[in-house]
Amino acid sequence: MSAGTTYTYTVKARDVAGNISAASAPVSATTETGNPGETPLSQGKRAWASSTENGGSGPELAVDGKGDTRWSSAFQDNQWINVDLGSSKTLSKVVLKWEGAYAKGFKVQVSDDPDFGTWKDLYTTSNGTGGTQTLDVNGQGRYVRILGQTRATPYGISLYELQVYGK
C-alpha cells in the first residue's frame, strides 16, 4: 500500500464445502503519511544552505536518509537549509533530527517561488527542544526551508536529517 492513499475493499467468506458468500459491503481506509518506513519526499532531493561548517557537513547530508551524517552551519544565527521537493506537494509532517547543536528559535517555511522571495510559515518556535522533533504541518509548496533564527549553543545548527512528508 502507498501512503496517503484511500483503499476500498470487500470481504468474501468461504465455508468448508467451498461455498463462497456474497461480498460484504465495501469498506475503505486511508493510509497515513509519515509512517515508519515511509520514504520522505525530501530524501535524495537537491538541498542547499546558507553556510556549511566544513567539507564534511554539506546540506545534502541532511536528506541522505542516513542517521549518522549531518549538515552543520557556520557558527552564526540566522542560518538556513532548503530542500527542493521537485514539484509542489501537499505537506503534512516535517521531522527534524537535530544534532546537539540545535536551533532554539526557528521556522519551517514553504514556497513555490523560484526566486525564494516569499515564504509561508508552517511552524514557528522560539523555544525549540532539539532531539527529534515531529511537526504536523499544513501547507503546499515545492521548496521547504528550515530557518534557524537563534542557536541553542555557541556552535551552528546541525541536522542529521530533515524529513518532509506529504503527497
In the complex, the residues that contact Ca ion under the rule CB under 5 A are 61, 64, 66, 69, 160-161
Q: Which residue has the cell 496517503?
A: 4
Give Cβ neighbours of residue 34 (< 8 Å, ≥ 6 apart): 3, 92, 93, 95, 134, 165
Distance of alpha carbon 83 from alpha carbon 46, whole angstroms: 6
Bridge partners, residue 28, by sequence = 8
The CB-of-162 to Ca ion minimum distance in angstroms stands at 9
Q: In whole angstroms, how close is the CB of 66 to Ca ion at the nearest point?
A: 4
Question: Nearest residue to Ca ion, using CB?
Answer: 69
61 backbone dihedrals φ, ψ, rounded to 5°: -75, -10
Residue type, 69: T
| For Ca ion, the closer CB: 66 or 167 | 66
Q: Pick the closer one to Ca ion by CB: 97 or 107.
A: 97
Q: What is the nearest approach in angstroms of Ca ion to the Cβ of residue 46?
A: 15
Closer CB to Ca ion, 3 or 96, in the complex: 96
For residues 61 and 122, which CB has a smaller minimum distance to Ca ion in the complex?
61
